[in-house]
A and B are shown apart, each in its own frame.
Chain A
Amino acid sequence: MIKLEHVTKIYPGTTSPAVDDLSFTVPTGEICTIVGPSGCGKTTTMKMVNRLIEPTDGEIYVLNERGEMQNVLEMDPIILRRNIGYVIQQIGLFPHRTILQNMGTVPKLLEWDNTRIRSRAEELLDMMNMPHEFLDRYPHELSGGQRQRIGVARAMASDPPVMLMDEPFGAIDPINRNLLQNEFLRLQQEIKKTILFVTHDIDEAIKMGDKIAILNANGQLEQYDSPAKILSEPANEFIEDFVGADRTLKQLNLIRVEEVMDKKPFLLQSTQSVEEALKAMDEKGQDYAYVVDSDRRLQGYVSRKDLKGKSGWIDEYTTTAATSLPITMNLRDALSEMLMVDYSTICVVDNRDRVRGTVNTAMVQEALMETHSSERREEV
């Protein structure tokens, strides 16, 4: 848990505060993204937690490993920083040290022995899906994405309960960024760190955050809430503007295909005969049907036109499906896939390619309608 109470920062030589009377609490094991226009004090806020910047006023508490709330302003900043993971946008790997030495920075400061540092580093590489050979390489031998993973791994080296991340994926190209974000979210499922995550990108804030803190240009907290609440119930005009006109569309980011799909779709078995298939399609009034094998693995689809007047087994007339959606995909990505292919309905498959349901644009629309009506109900 990270708790800020009336935190204010006024830089020397200025009168207006960079961060103004900020209070919020990040629950243990959750990611809180801080987002706002540039110069809003989001990085300042984050750096006050590990006292790279000293607050002018207010209190900051962090829950330590022993489950005690500690006032960070009463701690030795050096000890404090060694117990808080820290990732910055430019990564800041030490160019003269190997990856092992880089990852072992904090453990070394905590005086771990070398075997323990090495095994921890290997464990972290496994976590990041990177080979152990990397340990003896130097940062300049790695690609940008790999370096960023090492940066995150280095911050987790001593397994701190709390991590601070300052635009950690900011300098990465969009494709790799998406990949790293997904990887990190998956990792967070296991490690359950309490994370303060600074970003200037509202989409990233929505994607990564369990909670979002939006600051305005004067360093004041405009709204602190879950992404869904921020999107559906923006507190004021500033938030509405900041989140953007497409906030309804952004809400789709928060819903997974699994939640809206038709869980009992109409499917044909590849072992069925053409006659049987046509009969089933007549009954359901469908012109197309997806075909699966005995394991529910997706084989393709058949159309009534292809089957008409034919005999034998339907697998002879099956066309391979151009796409299918993973069950964990969010609705926004799903929608864009749907618009790209010309199918009215797309199969949703699990990680073993088994069909778990189907989804179509009408279902997406329905899901959106539901979030809106639930808003309205709450208002009433």
Chain B
Amino acid sequence: MSQTEVKVEYWRWPEYRSTVPNVSWSNAKAITAGVDIGSVGSKAAVLVDGELYAFAAMRTGGVSEATAVKAINWALEGTGLEIGKLNYVVGTGYGRVNVPFAKRTITEIACHARGAHYIYGPTVRTVLDIGGQDCKAIRCDEKGKVLSFLMNDKCAAGTGRGLEVFADLIRVPVQDLDKVSLNVDQDPPPVSNTCVIFAKAESLALLRQGWSKEKVAAAYHTAMANRIVDLLSRVGVEKDFVITGGVAKNMGIVKRLEKILNIKPLEPKMDPILAGALGAGLFAKALYEKEQGLR
């Protein structure tokens, strides 16, 4: 008898869209959008006079242009708006040059700082953005302007991609990893290897030694948090401290960062994965007003 094995892809995080209630575009002066094409996820945020109105987050496909169109159309779904009605669009992220309907591109560093300023308020001084394939520590001023930053985009350790690899290893959906990692009485010593490839092999060896999934996940998350702190401490952490990007939703990383740094990051008032797209949408509004001679 033959058996069919269904290959579950545990790294495939769910895509989603939403429209913010009680916001209307009918009397809007500026309808703008930011499209953040990341290496793993693509986000589109539509803003009505500088307020978040609709958004979508989805996985970046093989062709970035197609993903950009898909993401904005999904965000606009059911709103009565279409690409042609947007006054100004700014592209950002790793694939920012591949947003065909964007008038301008702005780096994701600037957009994340601007977006964090919008989400968390003007007291933000340090933004940690943990994305799919990079990790950035950004220092900014009370206007959300970048003062300095450091970035790791060379190594998968300390990025979302590292979590995806781990999700496939322990066969837990990537969005549930944090809960699993926090389900231990006490954190075990961290995985000793930095490199994701070696850390994966080490985790496998721990599982074979009889460690539970929870314990191995805790060891892996702690190692990742340590790695991120290495980067962060090189720019310094000044309060208020916030975390953006997809990994900001992983409480297993957030709680451990909080413990190591002994600084509590601010609670996000909206989805922190949108920071880049929101920042781009806000820049789009300013650029539109300038174009119209309003500024």
Does A associate with B in a complex?
Answer: no
